[in-house]
Structures are given as structure tokens and as C-alpha cells.
Chains A and B, each alone.
Chain A
Amino acid sequence: MENGFISFVLEHIAQFFSYTAFANMTIGHLVMIAVGLVFIYLAIAKEFEPMLLLPIGFGIIIGNIAFAPGLKIGIYESGSVLNYLHFGVLQGVYPPLIFLGIGAMTDFSALISNPKLVLVGGAAQLGIFGAYAIALALGFTSAEAGAIGIIGGADGPTAIFLSSKLAPDLMGAIAISAYSYMALVPVIQPPIMKLLTTEKERTIKMKPPRAVSKTERIMFPIIGLLLTCLLVPSGLPLLGMLFFGNLLKESTVTKRLADTAKGPLIDIVTILIGLTVGASTQATTFLTAKSIGIFVLGAISFVIATCGGVLFVKFFNLFLKGDNKINPLIGNAGVSAVPDSARVSEVVGLEFDKSNHLLMHAMGCNVAGVIGSAIAAGILLSFLS
């Protein structure tokens, strides 16, 4: 009787232990938890993209607490709560909602007043296709190469949207890579900008932007949508929502809708996307040679994108005269990474001329980069899906 009871207790203790994370943990899980902690540290202590790195970092920890299969806990386990939340990432629901909020909080006035800046946003997309070519050479499939290349667009929601369509298995690594490098924009871009420009070019003073009328601001999202999506309809989910959000803002008659889109809605979606993308990086799927390749390619794509933007401005200046010339230090802002890359332009510009404020001009390139990367994503989707 006593033996039976003891064996019963021991058996159930053993069974309980088999359900704990300790019994199911691997070295990979521990490594990923450490990565999650580093992300949280960077977000809190260094304030590197805290709105994203904090949810992603915590998500990585959540996703790498090992568990016994069959309890409907894991993000890949159908029926689990995390699985339902992850649906929004897998099916590309969250990124367009984030674009709605971005549209509602973006002021395109700088771009409208100096529309040639939109071309800088296009040139910086060279990073996407440069990384695509290198990824192909490294043996990735076309779809995977396209999904990896989009990291060079420096736009988190676009990267998640495209990778969910082209290479869902690589989405975690691509998203983490994109957001990591976006956080490192102030470290990556300045040396390249200084390397590619001369002292004289860095001190070019640009004409102040003119006042933009309300009519122009209202026309921009409508015309922008028609001109871009008629040519690249596959960019519709992102561009449609971006321009719609902007129209909500600029029309001034839907203030409540615009406030919701740029406030509570984008906050909620950011929390969900960050947490679930982080949780999708389970050690079993994340710690592979491909993930390392993705991180290397991500860095290369950022470098190419920055070079593309800066060099394009230098080239463009050959055709511009007088005060129409553009300071090449705003070329880096052609990658999206709103508004960090524009801030980098401002800071680097002030290093060489204390009175030369480039922020407003750089913001024009920056928002053009958002449009450009969404168009590029649409093109990749139409070619490779």
C-alpha cells in the first residue's frame, strides 16, 4: 500500500517534470533566450528602436521556453492563443494596418514641396535588388532571395509582409534582421555618407521648402495611389493603406479616424506584430545557417541602399543648378527607416555646418523611401510568387 502510494507520487512528479521547460530545454533555446535578453537590454538601456525591439525581445523569450508538445501552447501549434495571434503575421494582416497608421502620422509636405526628392527614395531601393542578387549567388531560391532582399528597404512591416508571402519559414530571421539594422542606422550610415561625399558637397545649403496648400496635401494620397498602384497593383495592400491613412489625416474631416489609426490602432498592431514575430523564432527553426546568411545579407543590403541613395544624389546634382542642388547627405534617408535615417542626415549635416538643417529635406526622401520600398515589394511579389 505504502509502496504503491510512493510510486504513484514519484510517477506523477516525473510526469510533472516531463512537462516543465527544464525537461524540454536545449542549448538552442538558451541561446535564443539570451538573444531576447540582449534585445530587451538594447531597447531599454540604449533606446534602440524600443517600440519594436522590446516586444520582439520579449517575444523571443516567450517563443523559446520549451514545452511538452500537445498542450496547445506553442506559436506553431494549431489552436493555441499564440497561433491565432501569429495568423495576422502569416497572412499579412498586420503590416497593412501599420501602414495605415504610418500614413495617418506622416506629413508629406516636404516631398510635395520638392517632388524631385521622391527619386532619391527610389534610388535607395537598389539595396533590395543588390541583396537579392547576392542571395541568389549564395544559393538561396528566387523567392527566398526576394524576401531577404527586402531587408534593404529598411521597412519592417514591408519585410514581414513580403517574407510572409515568399518565404514564411525565413520570416522570423528576416524581421529580426530588418529591425536590428534599422536600430543600427545611426551606426551604419554615417561612415558611408562621409566616405562618398566631399567637404563641399556636405555643406550644400538647400532651398527651404515652400508652403504647401491643403488642396495639394489632399491630392497627394489620391494621385499617389493611382499612379503607383495602377503600375504595381501588387503593392496595393501596403500603398493603399498608407495613402488611405494619409487622406484620413489631410482631409481634416476624419480627425477621429486619423487619431485612431495613428494612435491606438498602430500601437495595438505593433505590440502584436513584435511579440508574435519574436515568438516565431523558436530555436528549432531560427538557429540555422540560413539565418546567419540572412543577417550578413541584411547588413550588405543596408550598405548598398545607403550608397545607392547618396550616389544618386551626386549624380542628380550634375543636372541641377544653383540653389536647386541637393545635399548628398540626405541620400541615405532614401531607405525607409523613418525617421532615424533622416535624423542621421541632420546630425551629420550639422557636423560640417552648424547652420545647415537638413531634417525637413531628408524627411522628404524618407517618406519617398516608404513608398519606394512598398512598390519594390509589390514588384518582387508579382515576379516571384
Chain B
Amino acid sequence: MKPIKIITLLLTLSACGLVSAQNATDLRINEVMVFNDSNVVDDYGNHVGWIEIYNTSYNTVNIGGLFLTDDAQNPIKSMIAKNHPQASIPPRSHFIMYATGDNSTGLRHLTFKLECGKTLYLFDGNGRTLLDSVKLPASMKADISYGRETDGADKWVLNEIATPAISNNHTSAAAEIDEFKKLDPFGVGMAAIAMTIVLSSLATLYFCFKLVGKIATRKKKHPFTAKNAQTGEAATDEVNAAIALALFLHSKQEHDEEYTVLTMRKVSRNYSPWSSKIYGMRKRPGGLTSY
């Protein structure tokens, strides 16, 4: 095959890739919550119904110009803003739309509110090609979502623990937590397990430092030197005796007059090239000064 043909083929394949990158047919309505009492909040801190859209592909999909509606006769009921920099869904990711009834308040807001029993439709930018739809259950409790069992799967289930903007596969983890709650409704098991873990890890720390302490106190005491006085190590009996005497004299007001503060701490300033005037950043080589 000639090089030109190979390049043409590669360019064609790349173009196909670009086309599929914008392919809205990879989008799915993934999860819906109609009554939101204490679930995720919108941009304004309000609890409103929401719809999660999932990009099943491994390419970023632009969702600007697509339509969401709850009325098949009116497919262009709520349009997602075109040319918005955030109107795209990365590969295998989720996007939340809030059904506030007013889409003038932001990209993620829809012109309608959610109602049980209605069917939601996702239409392509031409307003005719149906991308996905889902019929909502006739009744739903607050904070219960209706979603695909796993991301993009065909089966829809009611989820007690909603997973807005994250994978529905987490519902399996949520189910485990639910199971945990069912088996341990009063939290006694959890308290027992957790307290055991807390106390055992701290007990390990206790035994370890008891041992360290024993080793440290068994060590031969060094005589008092200027070096260990500076580091604060090995407060020997002599030091303790000297401190006790000083305190005793102080309490009796029998000490001599002190004009300076007696300290074991180093009082000179630490040298650092960062604060040095010699190596100032503004000083030019050769002693020239610029203004």
C-alpha cells in the first residue's frame, strides 16, 4: 500500500474517531430522583428532582443542543445549552440535570419538574432522533431513586441509596451497607467491632511505648553537659537538684540579683542564605546597583 493511501486511511479512521467522540447515541438516562428531600442539592442549595445521564462510550460526548422532555409530543421541551464549555460528558462519566422548571438559571437546569408515572425522553439535537427514554414508576418515595442496576444496564431498579453523579455500580456497595443495617439495626455490632479496633490499635501503641519507656529509663544516665542541656536531654538528678535549689532560693528571696534571663535555649539567630544581605537577590554581580 502506498504511503499516501496509508495516511488517507489513518486520517479517515481518525475522523471516524472524532465523529464517534460526539456521538450522542452513546448517552443513556441512567438514574432519576423525583422527590428529593435530603439528597444532592443544586447550584443554589435547593433539593430538587434530578436526572443523571451516563456516557457509555470511551469518548467525550458533547451534550449541548440535546433535548430532554417528559412529553413525547413536545420533544424540544428543554434544550441543554449549546456551545457551553461544560456541556460535555467525559468517557464513562455521569452528568446531573436538575428539574427545577426554569432552565434560565444554568446549564444543568430543565424547564420542567419531574412527576411520577411520566416518561422521560432524551432527544438528539435535531429534536426527532430518540436517544433514550424511561418510564418512571407510578409512585416513588422521597430520596429513593429509580436507576439502572449498573451503569448503562437494561434493568431498572429502585435504589434506597441514590448515587447521583457517580456509578450506579455503587448501589451494590450501598446494598451491602443496607444489609449491614438490617443485620445490625441498633448499631450494637458496629459499636462492638469499632470499639474493639480502636482500643486494640491504641493498646498496641500503649504496649509499644511502655516497652520503649522501659528501655529509655533503663539507659545509663549521662553526666550533665552543656550539649545535652541544649538539646533538653537527660535531665539528671544534679540538674533537678540545681533547679530545686534555685526555686527554693527564689521562694525565700535569697538569690542574687539577676540582670539577664538565664536560659538554656539558643538565642542567636539562625543563619539562612534566604535572609542573607550578602546574597540578596537584587544585588547585581560586580557590585552594580540597579534602580
Contacts and interface: CB of A to CB of B under 8 A. Distances in A.
A76 B41 contact: yes
B194 A76 contact: no
Contacts, number: 165
A383 B190 contact: yes
A223 B64 CA distance: 54
Nearest to A168: B40
Contacts of B217: 210
A215 B206 contact: no
A330 interface: no
Given A125-B198, A133-B186, A288 B206 contact: no
Given A70-B106, A136-B187, A169-B39, A232 B197 contact: yes
A118 B213 CA distance: 14
A368 interface: yes
Nearest to B234: A213
A379 B233 contact: no
Nearest to B43: A77
A371 B199 CA distance: 11
- Tell which of A170, A227, A252, A371 has the most Cβ of chain B within 10 Å: A227
Interface string B173-216: 10001101100011110110111011111111110111011001
Interface in A71-119: 74-78, 111-113, 115-116, 118-119
Given A74-B45, A132-B187, 11 more contacts: A69-B43, A115-B208, A115-B209, A129-B190, A133-B190, A142-B177, A210-B213, A214-B233, A284-B46, A376-B194, A376-B198
Instruction: List 3 A-B pairs, minimum CB-CB distance, nearest first.
Output: A133-B187, A129-B191, A115-B209
6 contacts: A75-B45, A133-B190, A136-B185, A141-B181, A216-B216, A284-B44
Interface of B: 38-47, 86, 104-106, 161, 173, 177-178, 180-181, 185-188, 190-191, 193-195, 197-206, 208-210, 212-213, 216-217, 231-235, 270
Interface of A: 69-70, 74-78, 111-113, 115-116, 118-119, 121-123, 125-126, 128-130, 132-133, 135-137, 141-143, 145, 169-170, 210-216, 219-220, 223-224, 227-228, 231-232, 252, 255, 282, 284-285, 288, 290, 368, 371-372, 375-376, 379-380, 383-385
